[in-house]
Amino acid sequence: MKIRAALIKKAREPFQIEEVDLGVPLSNEVMVKIVACGVCHTDEVAQQQFIPVPLPAVFGHEGCGIIQEIGSGVSNLKKGDHVCFSFGFCGECSNCLSAKPFICKEFNHINFGGVMPDGTKRLSQNGQKISSFFGQSAFATYTVVNQNSVIKVDPDIDLALTAPLGCGIQTGAGTILNRLHPEFSSSIVVFGCGTVGMSAIMAAKIVGCATIIAVGGNDNSLILAKELGATHIINRKDCDDVVRKVKEITSGGANYAIDTSGVPEFVRKALACVGYGGTAVVLGATGDLTINVQKELMGDGKSLVGIIEGDSIPKLFIPKLLTYYKSGKFPFDKLIAYYDFKDINQAFEDSHNGKVIKAVLKMC
């Protein structure tokens, strides 16, 4: 069928909304009319080819919509269901079978290799195959998604609101709730007050962290971070020594630190901010990093870990986040600004410049 999609044909070029062809759903797949899709930094780094997704491609990996067609073998989903999407995984490797789909052995192939889990493509234009992204390519009016990546949501909830749950929000919140499990009254510092960082801050408040330090460069975002749960805020542009300031606040070093920026300098500072036995977490796409292992890591018994998608099992975790939201404990709606699909390039520009925290495109 003919659909409209935001196409990238060459690295770093703007998104062009064009007509493309979408194939029918095959075994274990559903076709969904897209209602909304979040704009994420991961889309941007793929657009720039820091993550080398084969081009041409349709990005977008925080989609939500209404199921239109069901392929063979699909269970527990039906036409008309309200759903949001998350990352793709094979469901068959040892990690998937151990309830760890976030480290699926085919994760990179499915999410960044430009193909669906079965190795084929559903999108084309004038006979040329187009790569998918995260097995969904949700910068489009319709898409085909494997049922593994589809999460059914309560139809009483504003569907567009659920779009960003499938990546950035679950990454930040899941890092706290699924992996770190901070002790009550512990301390944490979060570098970056974007979607991932704000979600981590809200989750840290839920579990009872006594000291939650937000580090960012945008005063408006830092004010919101305080509203969402940060006990202290540091504008890195106004602070000569962020590490020293964090150590003053935490009496020697935080128990945990998270970097969401992907900037090597900030990853190193996050590691320096934790005290003896502390854990620093990398959540952003980060390039080369040089550290003195003995002085900065091993000597103080610290840990430096990378966490993918918040160690989340989306079909279980996203409904939990919505429960927290409905109870007023996880007000992620305060992060969102909506844009029309046609304004996709403006949404990316505003996100990049810090004018909005989480831009969400509405397709209809």
Tokens for 157? 């909830």
Residues of the chain with pLDDT under 50: none
| 322 within domain boundaries | no
pLDDT at 71: 96
Distance from the first to the final alpha carbon of the chain:
18
CA angle 139, 140, 142 (to 5 degrees): 135
Quick one: 136 and 29 in the same domain? yes
Residues 149 and 297 in one domain: no
Whether residues 93 and 130 fall in one domain: yes
The 3-state DSSP composition of the chain as helix, strand, coil percent (nearest 5) reads 35, 25, 40
The overall pTM is greater than 0.75: yes
As for how many domains the chain has, the answer is: 2
> What is the Cα–Cα distance from 1 to 227, expressed in whole angstroms?
46
What integer pLDDT is reported at residue 189 of this predicted model? 98
Query: What pLDDT does residue 224 have?
Result: 98
Angle at 117 between CA 51 and CA 341, to 5 degrees: 60
Task: Give CA–CA dist 280/244, Å, rounded.
Answer: 16
Q: How many CA atoms lie within 13 A of 309 on its CB side?
A: 28
Residue 287: per-residue pLDDT = 87
pLDDT at 41: 87
**pLDDT score at 364:** 78
d(CA 29, CA 118): 11
Residues 160 and 210 in one domain: no
Radius of gyration of the chain (CA): 20
Q: Looking at the structure, do residues 191 and 258 belong to the same domain, yes or no?
A: yes
Task: Please give the pLDDT value at position 340.
Answer: 98
Same domain, 179 and 152: no
- Span 106-162, pLDDT tens digits: 999 999 999 998 899 999 999 999 999 999 999 999 999 999 999 999 999 999 999
* Residue-number span of the structural domain to which 89 is assigned: 2-166+331-362
Q: What is the pLDDT of residue 363?
A: 95
